Structure 1
Amino acid sequence: MADGAAITETDLVHLRRCVELASEALEDGDEPFGSVLVDPDGTVVFEDRNRVKGGDHTRHPEFEIARWGAAHLTSQQRAGSTVYTSGEHCPMCSAAHAWVGLGTIVFATSSAQLTEWHRAWGIPAGPVAPLPITQVAPRIPTRGPVPELAAEIRGLHARMRDIDA
């Protein structure tokens, strides 16, 4: 765990929804990532999945959550919210999260895991360094990765690799 805090049953419920959203993205021909924003009262207030297949690679669900949170939540609500995501934020999304003042991030799989899977499959590195959230936005509390979800998420990425092949 990034911050050493244990993953709760509530965390797992939201992370499983992220995996469902990632699967929906894959079924729609997109990269398998999904994210959920939970307000301080524990209510899911926004969720999204990757939408980069059209060529706009800023259409990450975590970035959309930051935009939505800035437009719809007070700074206090944003700070007390939790973002759940199937994969650790990329540097762009980590920065957006920090700039709008969202709270804790709980991620199912890490950037390091995804990087290793891609390396093993011979997929070239992307145009942005896969830095962990804590290197881009060091004051954001994080929890993850979650080992019990890794195989399922790896499987989604493997399916994407097979589709692209």
Structure 2
Amino acid sequence: MAISEADLVHLRRCVDLAREALEDGDEPFGSVLVSAGGEVLFEDRNRVKDGDATRHPEFEISRWAAAHLTPAERADAVVYTSGEHCPMCSAAHGWVGLGRIVYAGSTAQLLAWAAEHGVPDGPVAPLSIQEVVPGAVVDGPALDFADELRALHERRWERDGVYTSES
């Protein structure tokens, strides 16, 4: 399925949430859960800065959906996110039975940007969503957001002392 204009509106909100997370001292990721009818049901941003590395917005969406939606509502819902799910979030998505995933930036893009600046690898293998949840319906990346997402991550890495702009 192609990314639609409606998808881009929700992805814009995700990128705005990612910026909000960065401005609060966190990692720049944001996500939105939307019902089959187009209603925004839940949104969140990364909250890992205080030491709980599981506080990803996609994981929070899965928790919220499990507590508030029927299995059929979860399957019909769409998860929009600024960055492709990590393996932990992909697994949560699959276990809860959420529907389509639409992401603005891919893991491959993030890895390439990080490599250009010598950012060390994270502690978890960077698997695609489909490697973790083979039946997942996934669309992305939305290239309209690539430059903006790259800049947010570069600001984070510079702020965290992972690299300097002279790297």
Equivalent positions of 1:34-73 (< 5 A) are 34-73=30-69
Corresponding position of 2:165: none
Give the secondary structure class of the aligned counterpart of 2:89: helix
CA deviations on 1:16-42 (whole Å, 9 max, x unpaired) are 000000000000000000000001111
Structure 2's unaligned 5+ residue stretches are 162-167
Give the secondary structure class of the aligned counterpart of 1:108: strand
Counterpart-to-counterpart distance in 2, 1:9 and 1:147? 13
CA shift for structure 1 position 164: 1.1
The answer on 1:127 being equivalent to 2:146 is: no
The answer on 1:12 being equivalent to 2:11 is: no
Q: TM-score, normalised by structure 2?
A: 0.95
Counterpart-to-counterpart distance in 2, 1:7 and 1:87? 15
Counterpart-to-counterpart distance in 2, 1:90 and 1:151? 21
Q: TM-score, normalised by structure 1?
A: 0.96
Counterpart-to-counterpart distance in 2, 1:69 and 1:152? 29
The answer on 1:94 being equivalent to 2:90 is: yes
> Share of identical aligned residues, percent?
66
Task: Select the residue among 104, 108, 114 that pairs with 1:118.
Answer: 114
Alignment RMSD (CA, Å): 0.5
